[in-house]
Amino acid sequence: MQPVAHLRHRPDTSSTAVQYVRMSTDLQRDSPANQKEVLAQYATRNDIHIARTYEDYGKSGLSMRNRPALARLLHDVLDENRIFSILLVYDISRWGRFQDVDESAHYEYICRRAGVRVIYCTEPFENDNSASSNILKTLKRAMAGEYSRELSSKVFLGQCRGTRDGFRQGAAAGYALQRVLVDCNGNVKGPLRNGERKNLQSDHVVIVPGPRNEVALVRRVYEWFLKERLSPARIAQRLNDFGLRTDLSRIWLKDGIYRLLTSEKYAGNNVYKRKLDVEFRVDDMRLLATCETRRYGAIVAFDNAIPHLDSDEDVAKALAAMRRSLRAGGKIFISLRDYGALMIQRPSVMPPSMFWDNGLRRIVHQVWDWHDDRRYSAHLYITHQTSDVDWQSSHFVGQYRALTPDEVASHALQAGFHNIRILSPVTSGYYQPIITAETA
């Protein structure tokens, strides 16, 4: 008697599709509906059944970050038990307006390799992997990335111009301040509450003083800081002892008081784009092998980075690499501990410090093991409060070689830098001495 093999047939998915929909901002509220309507019309004309929709709302197309629907779609594409063999997309830019045109091509290739056919429903060509199709797709991908670059530049210039004209760029105004909507002629249309935004391109938002009691409190905080010399932590404690709360009905924290005292908006200044877009890499400070020659305008080595180098030779190599990477007129900014007195005292313990993180305490202290007159191992202990009753501790070890600011300045001079200055904490406002120098 011959055994009988029971074969499980995979269902026919040749006419079953899923669709991917993406819109860039929350303001494009009709975009997903428009995309779905076009995709539905295409499916009807071609007898295709749409089994599922993957939607990314208000997601930038510049990267894959924070696009859960696309990530889920690619995961399902690779699933051997998937129920579809067609992916419907509005156009090529729905993958994303990547600055690297090969990135969107990569995601399409993942689908094609897995046996899923990608159809661009509004593109004027068939996605049939022909030479003409591939050329047009490459061109479209490049155009999508260029559109993003051009739009970003135009938006940035417009926002900078609006800031110079006194208009607010951004969301919440802050404590004791109020956003007010004005028309193109400067006529007040009314206040904006949290979460509200303008609905006409010609309108603008300005910042004015908020509730009188909040304005009075800000003035009182400045008086306590300037006249009574109270620290931000002490001011926060005093406000909480009085039962006062922030505009979000939260307790006052030291960091909030610090921002209130240092924010330029309380001095009447309108500031925009203060943050920098910085590219991060891992490199050997003595080589800077990943840095291009004479490209950079500034190099920053803060928070005691240079003392990690174990010899004068290593310090000289690091400064030479920095000089090689800086263009003409470029500057270095180096901060380090003031080791002059520490090398004499050779302390074994640094006093603990306490910080507040979202209402929970963080305690930091260090233990130093000295190996000779300059070299020591620093044991960093960080104790985090994770709840009202729970704490978590971490231990880190770093090796240091003590240097004085004058010694670093001497090394910078030997490396070819000029206009070398040493700024004390009193001068700079930073907690460590800072050495600055320039290239010729």
Question: With 50 as the cut, is the pLDDT of residue 290 above it?
Answer: yes
Q: How many helices (H) and strands (E) does the chain have?
A: 11, 15
Confidence band of 215 (pLDDT split at 50, 70, 90): very high
pLDDT value of position 29: 47
pLDDT digits (tens, 9 = 90+) for 45-94: 999 999 999 998 766 656 667 788 888 999 999 998 899 999 999 988 88
Percent of the chain with pLDDT over 90: 44
Q: Cα 399 to chain center, whole Å?
A: 30
Confidence band of 316 (pLDDT split at 50, 70, 90): very high
Of 357, 346, 345, the closest CA to residue 400 belongs to: 346
pLDDT digits (tens, 9 = 90+) for 219-256: 999 999 989 989 899 999 999 999 999 988 899 999 88
How does DSSP classify residue 255? H
Q: Give residue limits of the domains in the chain.
A: 16-148, 177-209, 213-267, 296-336+404-438, 340-401
Of 192, 252, 194, 179, the closest CA to residue 220 belongs to: 252
Q: Which residue has the tokens 């409190």?
A: 217
Confidence band of 318 (pLDDT split at 50, 70, 90): very high
C-alpha–C-alpha distance, residues 103 and 98, integer Å: 7
pLDDT value of position 253: 92
pLDDT value of position 59: 62
pLDDT digits (tens, 9 = 90+) for 346-403: 999 998 988 887 778 899 999 999 999 999 999 999 998 988 888 999 999 999 999 9
pLDDT value of position 236: 92
pLDDT digits (tens, 9 = 90+) for 108-151: 999 999 999 999 998 888 888 888 888 888 888 877 766 666 66
pLDDT value of position 7: 47
Question: With 90 as the cut, is the pLDDT of residue 315 above it?
Answer: yes
CATH code: domain 16-148 is 3.40.50.1390
pLDDT value of position 115: 92
Question: With 60 as the cut, is the pLDDT of residue 5 above it?
Answer: no
Q: Round the average pLDDT of the chain to a whole number and report it.
A: 86
Percent of the chain with pLDDT over 70: 89
What CATH class has 296-336+404-438? alpha beta
C-alpha–C-alpha distance, residues 340 and 346, integer Å: 10
Mean pLDDT value of segment 143-166? 71
Q: In 122-187, which residue ranges form alpha helices assigned H by DSSP?
A: 131-164
pLDDT digits (tens, 9 = 90+) for 252-265: 999 889 989 988 88
Equal fold, 16-148 vs 296-336+404-438: yes
pLDDT value of position 398: 93
Question: With 50 as the cut, is the pLDDT of residue 26 above it?
Answer: no
Report yes or no on whether pTM surpasses 0.75.
no
Amino acid identity of residue 272, one-letter, is Y
Mean pLDDT value of segment 332-349? 94
pLDDT value of position 274: 67
Question: With 80 as the cut, is the pLDDT of residue 8 above it?
Answer: no
Of 343, 332, 335, 285, the closest CA to residue 311 belongs to: 285
